[in-house]
Amino acid sequence: MPTLTIDNQQVTVEDGTTVLEAAEQLGIVIPHFCYHKALGAVGACRMCAVTVHEGTFKGLKMSCLIKVEEGMVVTTDDAKSVVFRERVSEWLMLNHPHDCPVCDEGGECQLQEMTIASGHGVRRYEGQKRTYNNQQLGPFIAQEMNRCIQCYRCVRTYKDYCGGKDFGVMGSRNRVFFGRFKDGPLESDFSGNIVDACPTGVFTDKTFRFKSRFWDLQEAPSICPHCSLGCSTVPAGRYGELQRVRSSVNEKVNGFFICDRGRFGSSYANHPERPRQASRGQWKLTRDEALVQLDSKVRELIRQHGPEAVLLLGSNRASLETNWMLQRWAEKIGCRAPLLSAHLPRHLAAQVAAFDLADRLASLEKIRQSDLVVLLGVDPLAEAPMLAVALRQAVKKGGQVLAYDPRSIELPCVFEQQSMSPLQLLELLDQDKSPESGRLLDLLKKAESPVLVPGGDLLGAGGLLRVQKLAVVASNQTRSCLVHPVLAGPNSFGCGLLSLPEQDDLLTQLESGRIKMLVCVETDPLLEAPNGERFAKALSRLEELAVLDYLPTLISAHTKLFIPTSAPVEAAGTFVNNEGRQQLFVPVMEPRLPIAVTGSGSHPPREFLPEAPGSDPRPAWQLLQQLLGEEVELAQLRERMKTAVPRLIDFDKLQPGGVFCRVSDADERSCYADEISAQPAGSLQLVVSPARYGSDLLSRFSEKLKPRFTDACLQLHPQDAAERGLDDGMKVALKTDCGEYYLTLRCVEGVATGCAVVENGPAFPQLVPGGKLGFCQVAAGGRHD
Residues that bind other proteins (CB under 8 A): 42-47, 49, 59-60, 65, 83-84, 87-88, 90-92, 94-95, 124-127, 149-150, 152, 165-177, 180-182
| Nearest-approach distance from CB 180 to other proteins, in angstroms | 6
Q: Which does 48 bind (CB under 5 to 8 A by kind): ligand FES, other proteins, none?
A: ligand FES
As measured in angstroms, the least distance from the Cβ of 475 to ligand FES is 42
Q: How far is the CB of 128 from other proteins (least distance, A)?
A: 8
Tell me the helices (H) and strands (E) count for the chain, helix number first.
25, 32
Nearer to ligand FES, 44 or 733 (CB): 44
Partner touching 174 among ligand FES, other proteins, none, CB below 5 to 8 Å by kind: other proteins
Strands 450-454 and 714-716: unpaired
Query: Which residues fall within 8 angstroms of residue 384, CB to CB, at 6 or more apart?
Result: 227, 228, 229, 378, 486, 578
The verdict on 74 binding ligand FES (CB under 6 A) reads no
Residue 62 binds ligand FES, judged by CB under 6 A: yes
| Cβ proximity to other proteins, 124 vs 606, nearer residue | 124
How far, in Å, CA of 92 to CA of 149, rounded?
6
Closest contact distance (angstroms) between CB of 171 and other proteins is 5
Bridge partner residues of 419 (DSSP): 405
Q: What is the CA radius of gyration of the chain?
A: 28
Tell me the angle at which helices 320-333 and 634-644 cross, rounded to the nearest 10 degrees. 70
Given ligand FES, other proteins, none, residue 35, with its beta carbon under 5 to 8 Å by kind, binds ligand FES
CB of 114 to ligand FES, least distance (A): 10
- Closer to other proteins by CB, 127 or 435: give it: 127
Q: What is the DSSP letter of 477?
A: S
Rounded to whole angstroms, the Cα distance separating 687 from 468 reads: 23
The binder of 84, among ligand FES, other proteins, none, by C-beta within 5 to 8 A per type, is other proteins
* 64 near ligand FES (CB under 6 A): yes
Position 776 contacts ligand FES (CB under 6 A): no
Cα–Cα separations (whole angstroms), residue 290 to 205, 301, 377, 566: 40, 17, 44, 16
> Looking at this protein, which amino acid is placed at residue 152?
Y
By C-beta, is 87 or 305 nearer to other proteins?
A: 87
Q: Prior bond to 604 cis, omega within 30?
A: yes
Least CB distance to ligand FES at residue 220 (A): 30
Query: 634, 572 in Cβ contact below 8 A?
Result: yes
48 binds ligand FES (CB under 6 A): yes
Q: Residue 95 or residue 689: which is nearer to other proteins going by CB?
A: 95
Q: What is d(CA 427, CA 419) in angstroms, rounded to the nearest whole number?
A: 13
410 CB-near residues (< 8 Å, 6+ apart): 381
Rank residues 46 and 692 by Cβ distance to other proteins and give the closer one.
46
Work out what residue 91 binds among ligand FES, other proteins, none; the CB cut-off runs from 5 to 8 Å by kind.
other proteins
- Nearer Cβ to ligand FES (117/423): 117
Q: Residue 553: name the closest of 690, 697, 769 by CA.
A: 697
Q: Of the candidates 93, 653, 38, 703, which has an alpha carbon nearest to the alpha carbon of residue 389?
A: 38
Which member of 19, 21, 28, 46 binds ligand FES (CB under 6 A)? 46
Report the relative pairing of strands 684-690 and 755-760 from DSSP bridges: parallel
- For residue 245, the SS3 value is strand
Task: Decide which of ligand FES, other proteins, none touches 87; Cβ closer than 5 to 8 Å per partner kind.
Answer: other proteins
45, 72, 350, 358: which one binds ligand FES (CB under 6 A): 45
**Amino acid occupying residue 240:** G
**Could you tell me what percentage of the chain is helix, strand and coil, using 3-state DSSP and rounding each to the nearest 5?**
35, 20, 45
The residue (of 49 and 109) whose beta carbon lies closer to other proteins is: 49
CB 445 within 8 A of CB 451: no
Spatial CA neighbour of 740 closest among 783, 688, 676, 684: 783
Cβ 280 to other proteins shortest distance, Å: 57
| Number of shown-chain residues binding ligand FES (CB under 6 A) | 13
**Of 78 and 543, which has the nearer Cβ to ligand FES?**
78
Residue 307 has what DSSP assignment?
G
Q: What minimum distance in Å lies between the beta carbon of 247 and ligand FES?
A: 20
CB of 39 to ligand FES, least distance (A): 10
Q: How many other C-beta atoms lie within 10 A of the C-beta of residue 133? A: 9
- Work out how close the CB of 139 gets to other proteins at its nearest, in angstroms, rounded to a whole number: 20
Site string for ligand FES, 12-41 (x = CB under 6 A): --------------------xxxx-----x
Closest CB to ligand FES among 150 and 577?
150
173 contacts which partner out of other proteins, ligand FES, none, CB within 5 to 8 A by kind?
other proteins
Which of other proteins, ligand FES, none interacts with 32 (beta carbon under 5 to 8 A by kind)? Answer: ligand FES
For other proteins, which is the closer residue by CB, 148 or 467?
Answer: 148
According to DSSP, the residues that pair with 52 across neighbouring strands are 59, 74
Is residue 503 within 8 A of residue 339, CB to CB? The reply is: yes
Q: Closest approach of Cβ 75 to ligand FES, in Å?
A: 16
Q: How far apart are CA 169 and CA 167, in angstroms?
A: 7
Q: 29 is in the binding site of which of other proteins, ligand FES, none (Cβ under 5 to 8 A by kind)?
A: none
672 contact, one of ligand FES, other proteins, none, CB 5-8 Å limit per kind = none
Nearest approach in angstroms of CB 48 to ligand FES is 3
Nearer to ligand FES, 92 or 326 (CB): 92
**Measured distance CA(481)–CA(366) in Å, rounded:** 11
Burial class of residue 67 in the structure, from the number of CB atoms within 10 Å of its CB (0-12 exposed, 13-18 middle, 19+ buried): middle
Residue 41 or 326 having the CB closest to other proteins: 41
Name the residue nearer to other proteins (CB basis): 177 or 660: 177
Smallest distance from other proteins to CB 159, Å: 9
Q: Report the Cα 320 to chain-centroid distance in Å.
A: 17
- In this structure, the number of other CB atoms found within 10 A of the CB of residue 702 comes to 24
Q: How far apart are CA 209 and CA 217, in angstroms?
A: 13
Side-chain-side CA neighbours of 636 within 13 Å: the count stands at 6
Q: Which residues bind ligand FES (CB under 6 A)?
A: 32-35, 41, 43-48, 62, 64
